[in-house]
């Protein structure tokens, strides 16, 4: 095996070197771009300030690029390792040696994995060494930030095996050789949406296991399905099925979107103008102005022209509105996000001073400062003030643990809204929730649930901080910049969990919108209205109305959904809720499943008929029937692309067509007739030559 590994390493070294140069050059360019940008920022340069630019490790560009490069290199290497030797005689030269196929397989993949590590691991390690060295990146670092790039680099191995499978497979339908690539693409998508990091690793491990077994089986059968060892066949089916599902899914979407021209109609919504008037807006098809009507449904007419006002003109009167979804549950239950988003959203850019960047560390709950010029850590700020280390003896603001949009003025604690002053290394308490302004405080103080559900700053002209909205368990508070409470209003929790505050600048008033939660609305069948209350600056209620909730749309099973349901594999509906963490089986979308089962039930007799026609054994036919039940049309496509369909010829005994790959006729049990003699045969017994 050592000889094989050495041969593979030498054979593919040129390709690996090319990959190494390309990958290293791209990462070097990334370092150069960041350093150049930081230098211009330190010199007082303006421009965009996004956390992704400040911490390249969590930038989408970085992990996408790494992932794409690892995938491309993995696929090409895998395909090349087989394709190099796939010419008939070279393959024979390789395979006809005193080594098992398993040894040849391991020789190839061990060398391939070494080259993969060399090409992707070496530049990435270099990059990380640079990124982790103090003075290079002026932003906080957490090990969890490396998870996306680590996972996407590892997923290159899935592409590597997909490439090998593509090179190895002998398929009647040439395009079906690349179906393994579809599987790798699906793995890349799935690893981004699973809730936990370990699930992403498990998906990669599982897919690598399946694809590697399929490739191993292919080595034993020279790429054919027939003649594979027992684990190879199910692995090949499992490796190709997601690819079939992807191809069929794309075809179905194309059919639905392009040929049927079914576009989901946009729903109506409310719009409040600066004078507090509410209009109902109904979007129309692209290029047309939306329909504007008052609450009684009368279309708005411009008194000057007598016709509908121009949308651009109407839009200028839109009031400032801030929408909030307060969350009072503890952190673990409050927000369920994917591991991927959790890894990327470890820090939030909070504010920039003349010489410093300040980041909010979501997990620690403190502000971390970095010097723009030296790119060194300065210290951190918590409710108790400045600390030279990041943890500050555990003193922290509310630890969101997930991304929250911050505008760089206030932060919330358990019961208090704080205003940090990073230039002075100080923090001031702006507003505190007490028993006086929230009777639930005493109840909640000892629990892990939150008292303050949300806090938002209102910047009316974009530069001046005008107000702060604080949503507690009892009230929605509007604060002035000095912390003085302007008014408070009582929303109808818990059914009404969506709060919006509108600033009506024309008449110095406010409007408070409260809307029902999705769950409550679904429970009521869409009967819960939206509440709108107009308040003056002192909190006096001027007017209050209820409006039908326009955002509520019960799930309708239209033609498009039915078609999508028909195209989806039934197993997907059964498995998918597991990823979402919702209790099974209540989370199964039964309506979708019903439609999906229709096609699956049609596929079963087709598969059965083909199985009979090509004389598959009864266990094989039963196995395929179960597979078709689980995977519907994609399952049938997998069946068609995996199986080799032998020729059929008439049995001389019973005259029925029989498959040529069986020793006896499946209909009458007769042997194949010996070759017909034409009188020119010359046969004689041959003796051993001594």
472 and 489 in contact (C-beta within 8 Å)?
Answer: no
- Which one of 337, 390, 646, 657 is in contact with another protein (CB under 8 A)? 646
Segment interacting with another protein (CB under 8 A) among 57-65, 243-251, 534-542, 660-668: 660-668
Regarding 296 and contact with another protein (CB under 8 A), the answer is: no
Residue 93 Cβ vs another protein, minimum distance, rounded to whole Å: 6
What's the token pair of residue 289?
Answer: 């102005």
Q: How far is the CB of 645 from another protein (least distance, A)?
A: 9
Distance in Å, CB of 2 to another protein, minimum: 7
What is the SS3 assignment for 227-275? CCCCCHHHHHHHHHHHHHHHHHHHHHHHHHHHHCCCCCCCCCEEEEECC
The answer to whether 174 contacts another protein (rule: CB under 8 A) is no
The residues in 198-237 that bind another protein, with binding defined as CB under 8 A, are 221-222, 224, 226-227
Answer whether 244's CB lies under 8 Å from 641's CB: yes
Residue 417, classified by CB atoms within 10 Å of its CB into exposed (0-12), middle (13-18) or buried (19+), is buried
Say which residues have a Cβ less than 8 Å from residue 83's Cβ, sequence separation at least 6: 167
Shortest approach of another protein to residue 286 CB, angstroms?
Answer: 51
Is 656 among the residues that bind another protein (CB under 8 A)?
Answer: no
In degrees rounded to 5, what are phi and psi of residue 116? -60, -45
388 binds another protein (CB under 8 A): no
Closer by beta carbon to another protein, 302 or else 661: 661
Distance of closest approach, residue 173 Cβ to another protein, in angstroms: 13
Q: Is 125 in the site for another protein (CB under 8 A)?
A: no
Binding of another protein at residue 303 (CB under 8 A)? Answer: no
Q: Per-residue x/- marks for another protein, 71-90, CB under 8 A?
A: ----------------xxxx
Beta strands across the sheet bearing 269-272: 269-272, 278-282, 291-293
| Minimum CB distance to another protein, residue 89 (Å) | 4
Q: Which of 541, 601, 660, 668 binds another protein (CB under 8 A)?
A: 660
3-state secondary structure 343-390: HHCCEEEEEECCCEEEEEECCCCEEEEEECCCCCEEEEEECCEEECCC
The nearer residue to another protein, 590 or 683, going by C-beta atoms, is 683
CA distance 154 to 60: 17
**What tokens does 37 get?**
């940008």
* Footprint of another protein on 663-682 (CB under 8 A): 663, 672, 674-675, 678-682
177 versus 346: smaller Cβ distance to another protein: 177
Binding status of residue 647 toward another protein by CB under 8 A: yes
Q: Which of residues 478-537 bind another protein (CB under 8 A)?
A: none
Of 297 and 685, CB closest to another protein: 685
Order of strands, sheet of 541-547, starting from the edge strand that comes earlier in the sequence: 320-324, 498-504, 509-515, 530-536, 541-547
Token code pair at residue 354: 């003349």
Torsion angles phi and psi, residue 508, rounded to 5: 55, 40
Complex with another protein: residue 287 or 674, whichever CB lies closer: 674
Q: How far is the CB of 232 from another protein (least distance, A)?
A: 13
Bond from prior residue into 227 cis (ω within 30 degrees of 0): no
Q: Does 617 help bind another protein (rule: CB under 8 A)?
A: no
Residues 88-117 that bind another protein (CB under 8 A): 88-93, 95-100
Residue that is written with structure tokens 């680099």 in the block: 153
Q: Provide the sign of the torsion angle of the four alpha carbons 230, 234, 239, 241, taken in this order.
A: positive
Cβ at position 98, least distance to another protein in Å: 4
Measured in degrees and rounded to the nearest 5, phi and psi for residue 233 equal -65, -55
Rounded to the nearest 5°, which phi and psi values hold at 665?
-65, 130
Size of the site for another protein (CB under 8 A): 44
* Pick 94 or 625: Cβ nearer another protein: 94
Q: What does the binding site for another protein look like in residue numbers (CB under 8 A)?
A: 2-3, 7, 10-11, 87-93, 95-100, 221-222, 224, 226-227, 646-647, 660-663, 672, 674-675, 678-684, 686-690
């Amino acid at each position: 095996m050592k000889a094989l590994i050495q041969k593979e390493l030498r054979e593919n070294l040129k390709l690996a070197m090319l990959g190494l140069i390309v990958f290293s050059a791209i990462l070097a360019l990334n370092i150069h771009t960041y350093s150049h940008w930081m230098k211009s920022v330190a010199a007082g340069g303006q421009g965009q300030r996004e956390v992704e630019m400040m911490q390249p490790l969590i930038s989408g560009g970085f992990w996408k690029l790494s992932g794409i490069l690892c995938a491309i290199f993995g696929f090409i290497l895998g395909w090349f390792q087989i394709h190099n030797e796939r010419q008939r005689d070279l393959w024979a030269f390789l395979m006809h040696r005193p080594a098992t196929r398993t040894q040849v397989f391991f020789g190839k993949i061990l060398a391939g994995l070494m080259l993969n590590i060399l090409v992707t691991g070496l530049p990435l390690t270099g990059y990380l060494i640079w990124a982790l060295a103090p003075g290079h990146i002026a932003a906080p670092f957490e090990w969890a930030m490396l998870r996306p790039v680590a996972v996407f680099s590892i997923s290159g191995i899935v592409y590597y095996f997909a490439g090998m499978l593509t090179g190895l497979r002998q398929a009647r339908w040439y395009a079906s050789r690349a179906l393994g690539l579809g599987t790798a693409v699906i793995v890349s998508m799935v690893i981004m949406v699973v809730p936990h990091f370990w699930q992403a690793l498990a998906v990669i491990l599982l897919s690598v296991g399946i694809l590697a077994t399929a490739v191993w089986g292919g080595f034993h059968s020279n790429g054919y399905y027939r003649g594979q060892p027992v684990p190879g066949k199910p692995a090949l089916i499992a490796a190709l099925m997601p690819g079939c599902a992807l191809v069929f899914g794309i075809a179905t979407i194309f059919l639905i979107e392009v040929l049927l021209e079914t576009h989901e109609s946009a729903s109506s919504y409310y719009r409040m103008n600066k004078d507090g008037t509410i209009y109902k807006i109904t979007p129309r098809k692209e290029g047309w102005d939306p329909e504007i009507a008052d609450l009684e449904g009368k279309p708005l007419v411009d008194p000057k022209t007598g016709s509908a006002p121009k949308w651009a003109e109407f839009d200028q009167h839109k009031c400032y509105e801030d929408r909030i979804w307060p969350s009072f549950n503890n952190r673990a239950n409050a927000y369920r996000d994917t591991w991927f988003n959790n890894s990327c959203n470890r820090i939030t850019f909070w504010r920039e001073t003349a010489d410093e960047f300040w980041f909010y560390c979501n997990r620690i709950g403190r502000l971390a400062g970095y010097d723009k010029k030296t790119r060194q850590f300065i210290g951190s700020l918590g409710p108790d003030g400045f600390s030279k280390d990041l943890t500050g003896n555990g003193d922290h603001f509310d630890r969101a643990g997930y991304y929250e949009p911050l505008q760089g003025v206030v932060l919330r604690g358990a019961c208090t809204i704080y205003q940090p002053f990073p230039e002075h290394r100080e923090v001031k308490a702006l507003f505190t929730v007490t028993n006086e302004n929230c009777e639930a405080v005493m109840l909640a103080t000892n629990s892990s649930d939150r008292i303050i559900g949300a806090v938002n700053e209102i910047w009316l002209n974009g530069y001046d901080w005008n107000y702060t909205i604080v949503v507690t368990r009892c009230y929605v508070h509007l604060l002035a910049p000095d912390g003085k409470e302007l008014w408070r209003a009582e929303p109808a929790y818990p059914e009404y969990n969506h709060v919006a505050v509108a600033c009506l600048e024309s008449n110095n008033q406010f409007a408070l919108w409260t809307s029902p939660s999705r769950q409550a609305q679904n429970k009521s069948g869409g009967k819960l209205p939206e509440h709108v209350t107009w308040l003056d600056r002192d909190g006096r209620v001027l007017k209050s109305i209820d409006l039908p909730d326009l955002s509520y749309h019960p799930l309708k099973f239209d033609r498009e959904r039915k078609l999508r349901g028909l195209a989806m594999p039934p197993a997907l509906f059964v498995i998918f809720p597991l990823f979402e963490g919702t209790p099974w089986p209540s989370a199964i979308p039964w309506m979708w499943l019903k439609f999906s089962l229709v096609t699956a039930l049609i596929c079963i007799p087709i598969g059965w008929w083909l199985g009979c026609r090509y004389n598959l054994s009864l266990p094989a036919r039963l196995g395929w029937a179960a597979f078709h039940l689980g995977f519907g049309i994609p399952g049938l496509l997998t069946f068609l692309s995996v199986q080799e369909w032998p020729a059929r010829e008439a049995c001389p005994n019973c005259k029925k067509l029989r498959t040529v790959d069986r020793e006896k006729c499946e209909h009458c049990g007769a042997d194949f007739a010996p070759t017909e003699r034409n009188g020119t045969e010359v046969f004689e017994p041959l003796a051993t030559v001594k």
